Each structure stands twice: as C-alpha cells, then as structure tokens.
Structure 1
C-alpha cells in the first residue's frame, strides 16, 4: 500500500509539473518577437515640432503626455487594420537612395495614426497609402533621423518589433453614466489590443466592443465601482489581467495605470 501510495504521489507530482510546464510553454509562445525585414516607402507629415501629429486616429491625444513623443508613424490602411494596428512598433531604415544618411541608421516608431488612401491618385504616383501598399507617414522628427527630409519620400526596409514600455498598461477613461469608453495605451509586447473585458466592483466580466483606433466601449452603469480589465493582444492572443486599475471614485478624463503589461 505504501509503495502504491508513493507511486500515486509521484504520478500526481509529475502531472502537476507537466501542467505547469505546459503553461510556461504557452506563455513563452505568446511573447512577441521581431519579424523579417520587408521593403516599403516612407514619407513625413507636419514640421519639426510634430504638432500636427498630436491626436490622430488611434486616440492617444497629446503624444508627449501619453509617452509616445515624436517617434511615431501614421500607417497605411493595410497596416492600420481598422485600428487594430494602433500601438504596434516598427523599425525602419532608409535604403537605396542618396537621401539616406550614411550607415542607414535604424529608427523605431510607434503607430499612432492612419495615413488614409487617396483614391484619386494611383498608388505608384502619390497615393502611397492606398491598399495594398505598406507605407509609413512619419512624424518629421522621426523621418529626419534616417534621411534628408528634402527627399519627401524614400524607400525603406521595415520590420515589426516588440514594443518596449515603462510601467503597466494605461487606461484613459471617457464616457458618461451609461457608457464607458476606454483608450488603451502604453501597451508592451506586440503593442496592439484585439479584445477587452471590464468588471465593475467584482461583478462578472463584460466584453467590450471596439469603438475606433485604440478605444473600447461598454454600455453599462459602472460609476462608483472599482474597475478591472482583461486585455488580449490582437497578434499573440495573450491575455493579461489588470485588476483594480481604477478605484470606485474614478472619473472620466483621467488615466489609470495598471501594474501589469505584456512582454
């Protein structure tokens, strides 16, 4: 009996270890990694102050206040993916033209805006953001880190890379007593958000719908309740739990930072 009990205990321990290892493998597989280099083109908009790049289709508002600064890009429709491309990070280097700086320096930018298509112009003659082109319309300070801005447009090689962020995911709250609108910012790892849930005061999870850009909404009375969020990456499918992010006294117009982030 002792031998049988010992054998059963060993089997149970091994099973627990296997389950644990399986969980670790799943987590590791979800970690976003840099993709391969691909050709595209890049332009710029605005001036050296990058004042025209503030706001944008992702809804991040003041890009200095939200932590993105001037190393940002407006993506063509193909890369923007109806807003699911918001927050993604790319490395670019200028290639194949005398306008490129010596050594082809690599820059890293975050997607914060949409470069809309111009259907009145052919995609090879000015309609650079028309599908199916992959194109980057950079903030001018970012463009100037890799090429002479007088060129206007330059060929580049680009690759999507993990986003490196300081601190946890940030949730900027808008809406009213019956509608909660949340802008999700400072997302690390793949940088994007594909799904989101909210729980008010320990109640059950309510799935939020995608509004536009990097915002998600819930039609519910959540005022006076502590808010928790579950956020799923669009690219990796990994989900993180941001528990107790906003206190019961939360207010619209404020941004609350979680203690967790993607890797």
Structure 2
C-alpha cells in the first residue's frame, strides 16, 4: 500500500524518538504537509518582464492575469510539477541578492519547466513569470534583479488562498453525455490533486476519473448509456489527503467550454 509523505514522516518520527535519535529529517513539515522552514532551490524567469509567463501552460489554466490566479506564477520542474499533480500548488519564494526584498512572494504552479540550466536537474527549480521575479525585487530594482537570470532561492510550500472564490470546473470542449472532461481550477489549501471522482445522478457511488493532463480529468463512459447530471465531483488532495465533495457542481445540460463555480472550497 502506498504511504503518503505525512504518514511516512509520522512513522519515522516515532521510530527515531524511540531510539533517542534526532528528528530533524521531517522537521520542515507541519502536520498539514506545508513547509515550516525555508528550503533551498533554484529559479529562472521567462516571458515578458511584468507578464504572466505564458498564456496557457501545461496545467491548462489559460489566461491568468485578471483571474484569481493572477500573473505571479511559475513553471515547476519534475520534482515540483510531478507530471501535472503539482498543478495549482502554492509556494512562497525569496532571494538574498542586493536587489531582493526581504518579504516573500507567493506563486502558483501553472506550467512545466522541462529543461534549461536548473529545470533539467533533479533539484527543485522554478521558472518564474516576469511578474513574480519583479515582485521579489526591492522597489525600483526589478530590472537589476531580472538581469541576474539564474538564482539561488529559498522556498516553502504554503496553503493556496482564493478569497471569495470556490473551486471551479471548466468543462472541456468536446465533452458530452458519453465523455466528460473537466479542468479543476482555483482549489484552495493544498492546491494539488491526487484523485478526482464523479457521481452521476441516479448513481449511489462515485466513479474514478482518469488523469488526462495538467489539471484536466476525464470520465469515460463504459456502459453505453448516456451520463445523467447534475454531477457531483469528489477531489482528494495529494499533499495531505484532504477531501472535498462539490455537489451538483456541473449541471445536466452543461455547455462545453464553460466554467462552473461550485459552492465549496478545500480546507487547509
């Protein structure tokens, strides 16, 4: 049976305490899975100097500016992006160059950084948007900070916060009563997703959805009978196993391409 990071740390802590050994191995994680201490990482930046990086990205969120995501985002390398499971995770980042401000900048993972000086390594790395790297700078020093190009940074995993915004589902184009594909957006708390299940009207149980790509999940019809909505959606977070059920999140007669906001949000 697969053991989560939190469960592993809990068992290890107990074992080390019984032996009277130091327990610093898991000391950077709170019980909820978020980092209590700063971790060492690397960063670069891409896109326009004050922009959102790229319009789109490997998570599928498309437009970011003027949405609850905003332009301060990052593409993560494999340890951060995790094949798409890391989409939506939130971090705080900061640097220690003369042009860096002391306060951290909050970012959201919306894309994948597959190559380059840092992103091709096995060490955690972030390719920050221009807006994010500029926000890390002392006022008036953003150009100086951007010119450095390659950065040693500190980062920590933090809860995602979307004030006055619940989890939303964007039904993908081409979806029908026989094939339902949706993109999960604006999930608070852990932000990342371990699994998605969907319950159709008339069914007493949830059916597991298949991870499509990025933050996209799909429910394939195997019965030959059309799905019937409205649809309930169950999400389990990857970081700490927190679970939420969005009842009647997608109407029976949904419009492909449309975004539907639920009435629930994920706990921290």
Give the TM-score, by structure 1 length: 0.79
Instruction: Report what 1:254 is aligned to.
Output: 258
CA distance in 2, matches of 1:50, 1:32: 30
| Match runs of 1:132-151 below 5 Å | 132-147=122-137, 148-151=145-148
Instruction: Report what 1:6 is aligned to.
Output: none
CA root-mean-square deviation: 2.0
Instruction: Report what 1:193 is aligned to.
Output: 193
1:239 equivalent among 239, 243, 247: 243
**Residues 40/32 of structure 1: CA separation in 2 closer, same or farther (3 Å cut):** closer
CA distance in 1, matches of 2:134, 2:53: 16
Instruction: Report what 2:87 is aligned to.
Output: 86
CA distance in 2, matches of 1:207, 1:43: 37
CA distance in 2, matches of 1:139, 1:239: 30
**Residues 136/222 of structure 1: CA separation in 2 closer, same or farther (3 Å cut):** farther
CA distance in 2, matches of 1:198, 1:77: 28
Structure 1 unpaired stretches of 5+: 1-28, 119-126
Give the superposition deviation at 1:32: 5.1
Deviations 1:110-143 (A, max 9, x none): 000000125xxxxxxxx21013121111110110
Give the superposition deviation at 1:36: 2.3
Structure 2 unpaired stretches of 5+: 1-29, 138-144
Deviations 1:148-168 (A, max 9, x none): 111112211100101111321
CA distance in 2, matches of 1:43, 1:215: 26
Instruction: Report what 1:73 is aligned to.
Output: 74
CA distance in 1, matches of 2:238, 2:67: 21
Instruction: Report what 2:112 is aligned to.
Output: 114
Give the superposition deviation at 1:33: 3.8
CA distance in 1, matches of 2:59, 2:243: 21
CA distance in 2, matches of 1:233, 1:138: 24
Whether the aligned pair in 2 keeps the contact of 1:117 and 1:130 (CA below 8 Å) is: yes
**Residues 65/218 of structure 1: CA separation in 2 closer, same or farther (3 Å cut):** farther
Give the superposition deviation at 1:51: 5.6
The structure that is helix-richer by fraction is 1
Whether the aligned pair in 1 keeps the contact of 2:34 and 2:156 (CA below 8 Å) is: no
Give the superposition deviation at 1:241: 0.7
**Residues 134/105 of structure 1: CA separation in 2 closer, same or farther (3 Å cut):** same
Whether the aligned pair in 2 keeps the contact of 1:197 and 1:206 (CA below 8 Å) is: yes
Instruction: Report what 1:53 is aligned to.
Output: 54
| Match runs of 1:1-12 below 5 Å | none
Whether the aligned pair in 1 keeps the contact of 2:41 and 2:155 (CA below 8 Å) is: yes
CA distance in 1, matches of 2:114, 2:180: 28
**Larger of the two Rg values belongs to structure:** 1
Question: Deviation above 6 Å: which 4+ runs of structure 1?
Answer: none
Give the superposition deviation at 1:67: 2.0
CA distance in 1, matches of 2:166, 2:31: 18
